[in-house]
Amino acid sequence: MTRLFGSPIPRLEDERLVSGRGRYLDDLGRGALAAAFVRAPHAHARIVDVDVTDALDIDGLVAVYTWEDLPGKLAEPLPLLIPHPALTHPKTGYPLAREEVNHVGEPVVMVVARDRYVAEDACDRIRVTYDPLPPVVTIEDAVRAEHLVHEEVPGNVAAHLVQENGDARAAIAAAPHTLELDLDIQRSASMPMEGRGVYARWDAEDGSLRVYTSTQTSTSVRAAIAAKLDLPLHKVEVVVPDVGGGFGVKIMHPWPEEVLIPWAARLLGREIKWTEDRREHFISSAHERRQLQKVRVGFDDAGRVLGLDVEIWHDNGAYTPYGVIVPIITSTQLLGPYKPGAYRVEFRSLYTNTVMVTPYRGAGRPQGVYAMERTLDAIADYLGKDRAEVREVNFVKPEEMPYDHGLVFQDGRPLVYDSGDFAASLRLLKELVGWDDFESYREQARAQGRRVGIGIACYVEGTGVGPYEGGHVLVEPSGRVMVSTGLTTQGQGHHTVFAQIVADELSVPIEQVHVTTGDTRLFGYAVGTFASRAAVMSGNAIALAAREVRAKALKIAGEALSRDPEDLEIVAGAVRAKDDPDTALDLATVAVLSNPLRYAFDEAAKRATQFAVTDTSKPPVPEGEKPGLEATAYYSPPRSTFANGMHAAIVETDPDTADIKILRYCVVHDCGRMINPRIVAGQIHGGVAQGVAGALYERIVYDENGQLLNASFMDFLMPYATEVPKIEHAHLETSSPLNPLGIKGAGEAGVIPVSALLASAIEDAEGFRITRMPISPSDLWHLRQRFAAGEIEPLHRASRRETA
């Protein structure tokens, strides 16, 4: 049988999804009551009064709840998911606002009604009186601290963290050359096509709750609901249906709705569903990306970084339930494939009266890569060197792996790279994009009055973070192989890749393998799907479980066939003797034999009943064994794996309109061993598209009052097919030594270097420095005006080109 691991087979999910047979959250619970929310219209205000009188006579209204109605733990602030010693002033919101609102969109009143139309009618008629407070909207506002988001948080500083490896400031002071950069990266958002949603059913007779939610973590939502509603864990089931994209926003949990809807369902004894609409998603689901960065770097004549000192101001929005994961990742992953002589990074995570910030695909890495790559571009320009060359001299070399950066990563473990061959990746990329031939292309273009530029950006991505994931593999007496893992899926093709792994490990046809994810009824121990970890974590756990099943199958078959298990193999779904293919038992039969029976329910089961078994000298289930051809295994890595990649792009900027067009986009990507290259390519395409979106189109814009000005797809410019370039890519596969399958993770890769890359390419086309991303034609045109007025320094290489 051909090995499926590594082969680009079509996905098993697709037949269902292209036929309209997907089951997304809002497809469930037909007939359930609908919830809607009155959300704060002010960025910062005290709630003076909530008057629901006008809503009460609406036909179809079922219930209206405010904070006052919430009992017990539900009335307390939502959990701080990831505490950190540096997070000295954590703040989390209430499920429904209590006394104060801290961003536009914060839920204040929950309405339950016959359907969503009626629920919205009721929301319209509820009068909330607010006493507005001065809002803190930007990082600059927060730093100024003229006003505070939370009275008890001085200076609006949620967290302050310094990490240092070596004495960076001394190294910079002693370096032959130094540079300083001020950088700015704007706010964006995950924006999955399906918003969030929760559907809950209370079974009064059983005292149990079934909750469906569009989340990236089933087990942790379950734990949160059980805790908030004071229910035994085993009385709460969380089932994750098909999820229409997550990109990080759905790893945040429990969202207010995830505890409120179940609570109301129990209270009312009715099924209730809440489906987030697009406007709600904009103003109440998490955003990411905004940071200000100050970089000081010291380097030698070759462009080698001797000391790097980075200061980051990170906008965490109104609350910090997800801790300081994003700025921690920024500050550690900033290093990319490079080894600065000494590194110091300091960040302040600041409150603003805006939607909270939690990881969005890339999770702080795009910002870190932006800081580092802008810095390397600046060094190259300063020295008059090739940008690729300056990168190369700073690379960690393959023989230096594992490479310890002397820092603590987001999982609390040392930042140690496991593998990678950055120089090889760079060679591949330069070849792919035609790096060395670009200057002649530039000249040709210039002769036609066209302005083109090339850029390059590299990254390393810590993937597959712990603590663990598990997998369960069960061979049914029918021969069907049921696989489950607790983490969830939202379009990555996990059902296919996990089935590929199991089909190989058990030597069964992939059609027999059925995978379930994110269902606490089947698998109760899990962490979640984020940080490009699903393939690494669950992939390995499932492989280990399958290997146990295989061993058990050989053992049981060995007994049945009176052969040493060592002499047996599994081929095409049957255990057979290596030396005698006719001596064989199919796995279905082995599964039957694995479970000694008293009752035969079908023909096959007869083989396992008590009078069919001949050896009566041993107990039917030997000591230390368990019935059933199944196994559960866990994979818990010592630390993260590190995937890496490099992108290059050629852009053209219109000399008159300042319109920006990507002419070519090239990717070299190394995520270790690929389970399914087609799926990996899809992940890269999607990531790059989101990266391009974040670099050239999308930006969450608040006005000075904290009103979100573009809370619709009309004004939040998600790219269509007409805006996304074609992506050319090549793979490198450096196996990870950390896990049995040698895989790393590919989910976020595409998005990470894009802002840095396009800034590099645009400034190369324009001849002056780009320090703020995203960039629009209007922005670029204004930069040109300032450049023409002598307010911006030219790039050194541009003036060199002029004089050449």
Interaction residues for another protein, span 487-546 (CB under 8 A): 490-493
Q: Does 778 bind another protein (CB under 8 A)?
A: yes
| Residues 204-263, interacting with another protein (CB under 8 A) | 242-245, 247
Q: Does 621 bind another protein (CB under 8 A)?
A: no
Burial (CB < 10 A; 0-12, 13-18, 19+), residue 92, is middle
For 540, the 3-state DSSP assignment is helix
Q: Does 192 bind another protein (CB under 8 A)?
A: yes
Distance CA 493, CA 301 (A): 47
Question: Of 39, 42, 91, 116, which one interacts with another protein (CB under 8 A)?
Answer: 116
Strand partners, 604: none
* Residue range at the interface with another protein (CB under 8 A); choices 313-321, 477-485, 705-713, 737-745: 705-713
| Residues 274-303, interacting with another protein (CB under 8 A) | 277-279
Q: Does 19 bind another protein (CB under 8 A)?
A: yes
| Residues 336-355, interacting with another protein (CB under 8 A) | none
Please, which residue, 86 or 675, has the CB nearer to another protein?
675
Q: In what order do the strands lie in the sheet with 197-203?
A: 61-65, 107-113, 33-39, 272-275, 197-203, 208-213, 236-239
Distance (Å) of CA 774 to CA 208, 336, 700, 758, 770: 48, 21, 11, 9, 10
Please, which residue, 614 or 722, has the CB nearer to another protein?
722
Q: At what angle do helices 754-766 and 677-692 cross, to 10 degrees?
A: 50
One-letter amino acid of 194: E
Residues 249 and 322: beta-carbon distance below 8 Å: no
Question: Of 23, 73, 578, 618, which one interacts with another protein (CB under 8 A)?
Answer: 23
* Residue range at the interface with another protein (CB under 8 A); choices 111-119, 299-307, 609-617, 754-762: 111-119
User: How many H helices and E strands in the chain?
Assistant: 19, 29
Distance (Å) of CA 522 to CA 207, 483, 485, 548, 672: 19, 9, 8, 19, 30
Residue 594: other Cβ atoms inside 10 A:
24
Q: Does 193 bind another protein (CB under 8 A)?
A: yes
Please, which residue, 335 or 674, has the CB nearer to another protein?
674
DSSP category for residue 795: P
Question: Of 690, 734, 755, 760, which one interacts with another protein (CB under 8 A)?
Answer: 690
Which of 286, 285, 265 has its CA nearest to residue 277?
285
Question: Of 155, 565, 620, 682, which one interacts with another protein (CB under 8 A)?
Answer: 682
Question: Smallest distance, Å, CB 549 to another protein?
Answer: 29
Please, which residue, 296 or 729, has the CB nearer to another protein?
729
| Residues 743-762, interacting with another protein (CB under 8 A) | 750
- Dihedral-angle region of residue 326 (phi above 0 means left; psi in -120 to 50 means alpha; beta otherwise): alpha
Quote the strand ranges of 733-777, DSSP E.
Answer: 772-773
Residues 72 and 79: beta-carbon distance below 8 Å: no
Question: Smallest distance, Å, CB 120 to another protein?
Answer: 5
Distance CA 426, CA 460 (A): 13
Please, which residue, 348 or 729, has the CB nearer to another protein?
729
DSSP H helices, 523-666, are: 534-561, 587-593
- Tell me the number of residues near another protein by CB under 8 A: 82
Question: Smallest distance, Å, CB 451 to another protein?
Answer: 14
Please, which residue, 17 or 604, has the CB nearer to another protein?
17
Question: Of 164, 781, 787, 794, which one interacts with another protein (CB under 8 A)?
Answer: 781
Please, which residue, 223 or 688, has the CB nearer to another protein?
688
CA end-to-end distance (rounded Å), the chain: 62
Question: Smallest distance, Å, CB 479 to another protein?
Answer: 24
Q: In what order do the strands lie in the sheet with 574-577?
A: 568-571, 574-577, 580-586
Q: Does 681 bind another protein (CB under 8 A)?
A: yes
Q: Does 57 bind another protein (CB under 8 A)?
A: yes
Question: Smallest distance, Å, CB 709 to another protein?
Answer: 5
Question: Smallest distance, Å, CB 140 to another protein?
Answer: 18
Please, which residue, 14 or 431, has the CB nearer to another protein?
14
Question: Of 146, 564, 625, 659, which one interacts with another protein (CB under 8 A)?
Answer: 659
What is the number of residues in the chain?
804
